[in-house]
Amino acid sequence: MTAPVTTSWTTVTGSAGSFDAYLALPPAGRGPGLLLLQEIFGVNAHIRAVAAQYALDGFVVLAPDVFWQQEKRLDIGYTPQDIQRGRALAMAADKAALQRDLADSVKALRARPEVQGRGVGAFGYCMGGRLAYVAAATAGVDAAVAYYGGGIQDTLALAPQIRCPMQFHYGALDANIPLSAVDQVRAAMQGKPAEFFVYDAADHGFNCWARGSYHAPSAALAHGRTLQFFAERLF
């Protein structure tokens, strides 16, 4: 049997050079676009599987290689050494360049024949959650979802620029993002079309089945909420 989802690496022609992105096409071959933004571990096995998961749900998913100017196609796991390596890359990344690449990726996704005429959203995890928030403010997406977006509370100056609907997912046990930080983000998004969900039994990284912090009930509930959110706004 032929696999229902078609995946491949493709090239995004950006304003500062071309970079790779992982593409997953849905069984129908076309649909709304989703920009999938990686964690510090690169477009690794988990992110590629998430791309296929959302492609099965009917979306055209593009996961850009965020660290392309530092280390192309980074693909690492979750050991302490991997975490240290990923954090170093994230700390050294040029914020203006990341913002530019987000806009270039959204433009490329909108231009794909499989997407044309449909909405485009952005979603991501940890660092990618923060980048989804940045995309909502600067890249012209139609909707965005941030899973445990690390550092969003430190970039609240962008909040007034957000016009599209946003959804936020947090774990109540997440020591990296205390509930006080969640409250800061919630306050900054007051009056905007934003939804917040905090999962009482979830820790940081609860969506990733390859990590010890994976929490299936929270991940399943968040996935369902994300699907409904995007389905109502992008199809």
Q: What is the pLDDT averaged over residues 80-95? A: 96
Whether 174 is a known active-site residue: answer: yes
The pLDDT assigned to 2 comes to 78
Whether 164 is a known active-site residue: answer: no
Domain ranges of the chain: 6-234
Whether 223 is a known active-site residue: answer: no
pTM of the shown model: 0.98
Spot the catalytic one: 164, 174, 208, 215. 174
Spot the catalytic one: 65, 204, 208, 215. 204
Spot the catalytic one: 57, 65, 101, 126. 126
The pLDDT assigned to 151 comes to 95
Residue 112 phi, psi dihedral angles, 5° rounding: -65, 140
Q: What is the pLDDT averaged over residues 155-168? A: 98
**Superfamily covering domain 6-234:** Alpha/Beta hydrolase fold, catalytic domain (3.40.50.1820)
State whether the Cα torsion 88-90-95-100 is positive or negative.
positive
DSSP for 145-182, please give it.
Answer: EEES-TTGGG-GGGGGG--S-EEEEEETT-SSS-HHHH
* Residue 1 pLDDT grade (very low, low, confident, very high; cuts 50, 70, 90): low
Note the pLDDT tens digit of each residue in 11-51: 999 999 999 999 999 999 999 999 999 999 999 999 999 99
Q: What is the pLDDT averaged over residues 158-171? A: 98
